Chain A
Amino acid sequence: MSTATQDAIVLDKVNKWFGQLHVLRDVTLNVAQKEKVVVCGPSGSGKSTLIRCINRLETHQEGKIFVDGTELTDDTRALDTIRSEVGMVFQSFNLFPHLTILENCTLAPIWVRKMPKAEAEALAMEFLTRVKIPEQAKKYPGQLSGGQQQRVAIARALCMRPKIMLFDEPTSALDPEMIKEVLDTMIELAESGMTMVCVTHEMGFARQVADRVVFMDQGEVVESGTPTRMFEDPQTDRLKLFLSQILRGH
């Protein structure tokens, strides 16, 4: 298997149950290197569960998941290696409140990549500058606004220099005026060539940045295609219904 052309993420007939509830049904999805995929769908469709299976925050019961060529199993050491190559940004930011912004960003490089502290701090400042908040480095997360916290979360994930970035509804918990600053950061990241899988309701972002939009409903992938095709020429009734609800006023 040549490493240059293998897909970044491969999901092969993935099934997951929460007890009796079947939340992922035969999901098959490939994400190529440098591809940007937006996953959308109504609430309860399994899109968050899907993305959390990719870095094994949730475990799948059937099917296979390959991240960067390696299969996701219960092997903890391989798992930690995979997770250090996959960055994740959460809806509720999940910054570490007992550490400063700088320490939040340098923690993983120092303790996982064994980087010396000075080098890690320089790296962190580089990414904090890239998300446009270098002056907040010595503050604590509780002192920042939501938009700033989310940008720190993005910088923290980027400090591990991941190959893939996962976004789980990154702007859903933000006030409207802060959504733009986070989306701008994500657009800049996309344009720099990062492989991204993003669960979001921001269809404007999808139109601008996504190579492919995947629509999920009740645990299965219903339709997928380019943003233009999906929004202007939806094939299935379920997608038509979803679009009518979400694009009301767009």
Chain B
Amino acid sequence: MFSPTHFTAVLLFGLFASIVFGITQRETPQRMFRYGLYCFSLFVGSAIVLSWVMYLIAR
């Protein structure tokens, strides 16, 4: 059984979703790459920010 950490799961999820978003939502390869990178950073960044928010709320 594959049992990644929560953060690894976020990285994998963000990577695959960002690839599909980049290819399907933009027309040129350069813009696809930039949009994919943008989506990936939003996925990972929002996960980190929300994690800190939940950590501070729980204290």
Is chain B found bound to chain A in the same assembly? no
